[in-house]
Chains A and B, each alone.
Chain A
Amino acid sequence: MDPIMLDIEINGERRTIEAAPNLMLIDLLRDGLHLKGAQVACDAGVCGACTVLLDGAPFSACTTFAFVADRRSLTTIEGLGANGALDPVQEAFKAKSAFQCGYCTPGMILLAKALLAENPSPSRAQIRAHISANICRCTGYQMIVEAIEDAAARMEAAGGGK
Chain B
Amino acid sequence: MNEPTALRSIGAVRPRKDADAKVTGAAVYTVDIELPGMLLAKALRSPHAHARLVTIDASKARKVPGVAAVLTRDDLEGLNPTYGYFIKDQPIVALDKVRYVGDIVAAVAAEDEASAVRALERIEVEYEKLPEIASIEEALAPDAPALFEEPPMGIVPSYGAGASAEKDPKKNVCYRFQFTTGEASAFDEADHIFEDSFHFSRCQHYHLEPFVTVARFDGDVMELWTSCQNPFPLRKELSRVFNHAEQNVRVHVPFIGAGFGAKNNCKTEPIAVLLAKMTGRPVRFRLTHQENFLTQSQHAALLTLKTGVKTDGILIARKSTILLNAGAYSDASPLVAEKAGYRINGPYRWRHIDSTCDCVMTNSTPAGPFRGFGGTQTSWASESQLDMIARRLGLDPYEMRMKNLLDLGEPYVPGESGIDSDLRVGLDLVADKIGYHERKRGPVPGARPGRARGIGLSIGFKDQGGVNKPASAQVKTTTTGGIIVNCGSAEIGQGIQTALSRIVAEILGTDETCVSYAPINTDITPFDQGTNASSGICVMGQAIERAARDARRQVIEFAAARLECASDELELEDWVIRRGNEAHPLPPMIMGTYGGTGFEFVGRGFFKPETSHDAPLEAPCVAWEIGWGGAEVEIDEETGQVTVLRLVVSGDAGRAIHPLVCRGQDEGAAVMGLGQSLFEAMRYDGTRLTNIAPIDYRVPLASDLPADFQSVTQEQGHGAGPFGSKGMGEGGILPVASAIANAIEDAVGVRITELPITPERVLAALDARR
Q: Which residues of A contact B (CB under 8 A)?
A: 35-44, 46-47, 49, 76-78, 80-81, 86, 90, 93-97, 99-106, 109, 127-129, 131-132, 135, 137-145
Partner of B15, one of A42, A81, A94: A94
Residues 638-672 of B at the A interface (beta carbon under 8 Å): 658, 660-661, 663-665, 667-672
Please name all residues of chain B whose beta carbon is closer than 8 Å to the beta carbon of A102 when the two chains form the complex.
Answer: 18, 21-23, 27, 255, 257, 493
Q: B694 and A46: CB pair below 8 A?
A: yes
Given contacts A76-B25, A99-B23, contact A41 B209 (CB under 8 A): yes
How long is the Cα–Cα vector from A143 to B257 in the complex, in angstroms? 18
Q: Which residue of B lies closest to A135 (CB)?
A: B699
Q: B23 and A86: CB pair below 8 A?
A: yes
B1 within 8 A of A: no
Given contacts A93-B23, A139-B664, contact A101 B492 (CB under 8 A): yes
Given contacts A78-B24, A103-B208, contact A97 B699 (CB under 8 A): no
Which among A100, A128, A139 has the greatest number of chain B C-beta atoms within 10 A?
A100
Q: Which residues of B contact A (CB under 8 A)?
A: 15-16, 18-29, 31-32, 205-210, 255-258, 260, 288-289, 492-495, 658, 660-661, 663-665, 667-672, 693-695, 699-703, 705, 709
Q: What 8 A-B pairs have minimum CB-CB distances, sorted nearest first?
A: A37-B25, A101-B493, A102-B22, A100-B493, A140-B671, A103-B257, A140-B667, A77-B25
Nearest-Cβ distance from residue B727 to partner chain A, whole angstroms: 14
Given contacts A99-B23, A102-B255, contact A144 B702 (CB under 8 A): yes
How long is the Cα–Cα vector from A90 to B20 in the complex, in angstroms? 9
Q: B23 and A94: CB pair below 8 A?
A: yes
Q: B660 and A138: CB pair below 8 A?
A: no
Q: A143 and B206: CB pair below 8 A?
A: no
How long is the Cα–Cα vector from A96 to B495 in the complex, in angstroms? 13
How long is the Cα–Cα vector from A105 to B661 in the complex, in angstroms? 16
Q: A41 and B703: CB pair below 8 A?
A: no
Q: A137 and B206: CB pair below 8 A?
A: yes
Please name all residues of chain B whose beta carbon is closer than 8 Å to the beta carbon of A137 when the two chains form the complex.
Answer: 205-208, 258, 260, 668, 672, 699
Q: A39 and B256: CB pair below 8 A?
A: no
Please name all residues of chain B whose beta carbon is closer than 8 Å to the beta carbon of A47 when the two chains form the complex.
Answer: 208, 694
Q: A42 and B694: CB pair below 8 A?
A: yes
Partner of B19, one of A77, A81, A94, A128: A94
Partner of B660, one of A36, A86, A96, A141: A96
How long is the Cα–Cα vector from A47 to B26 in the complex, in angstroms? 20
Given contacts A106-B25, A131-B702, contact A101 B208 (CB under 8 A): yes
How long is the Cα–Cα vector from A110 to B672 in the complex, in angstroms? 24
Please classify the interface of chain B as helix (H, G, I), strand (E, B), loop, or mixed, using the class held by over half of its residues. loop
Q: B694 and A78: CB pair below 8 A?
A: no
How long is the Cα–Cα vector from A90 to B258 in the complex, in angstroms? 21
Please name all residues of chain B whose beta carbon is closer than 8 Å to the beta carbon of A100 when the two chains form the complex.
Answer: 258, 493-495, 664-665, 668
Nearest-Cβ distance from residue A43 to partner chain B, whole angstroms: 6
Q: Which residue of B lies closest to A40 (CB)?
A: B31
Please name all residues of chain B whose beta carbon is closer than 8 Å to the beta carbon of A141 when the two chains form the complex.
Answer: 671, 700-702, 705
Nearest-Cβ distance from residue B64 to partner chain A, whole angstroms: 19
Q: A44 and B695: CB pair below 8 A?
A: yes
Q: B705 and A101: CB pair below 8 A?
A: no
Please name all residues of chain B whose beta carbon is closer than 8 Å to the beta carbon of A46 when the two chains form the complex.
Answer: 694-695
| Beyond A139-B664, A140-B709, 6 additional pairs, beta carbon < 8 A | A97-B19, A97-B661, A99-B19, A135-B701, A137-B205, A138-B258
Q: A138 and B668: CB pair below 8 A?
A: yes
Q: B257 and A97: CB pair below 8 A?
A: no
Nearest-Cβ distance from residue A112 to partner chain B, whole angstroms: 11
How long is the Cα–Cα vector from A159 to B256 in the complex, in angstroms? 38
Given contacts A139-B664, A144-B702, contact A105 B23 (CB under 8 A): yes
Q: List 17 A-B contacts (CB under 8 A).
A: A41-B209, A44-B695, A76-B25, A77-B25, A86-B23, A90-B23, A97-B660, A100-B493, A100-B664, A101-B208, A101-B492, A102-B22, A103-B257, A135-B208, A137-B205, A139-B664, A142-B705
Q: B24 and A86: CB pair below 8 A?
A: yes
Which among B24, B495, B701 has the greatest number of chain A C-beta atoms within 10 A?
B24
How long is the Cα–Cα vector from A44 to B495 in the complex, in angstroms? 29
Partner of A41, one of B28, B289, B663, B668: B289
Q: A39 and B23: CB pair below 8 A?
A: no
Please name all residues of chain B whose beta carbon is closer than 8 Å to the beta carbon of A131 when the two chains form the complex.
Answer: 702
Q: Which residue of B lies closest to A94 (CB)?
A: B19
How long is the Cα–Cα vector from A101 to B670 in the complex, in angstroms? 17
Nearest-Cβ distance from residue B138 to partner chain A, whole angstroms: 32
Given contacts A77-B25, A97-B15, contact A103 B668 (CB under 8 A): no
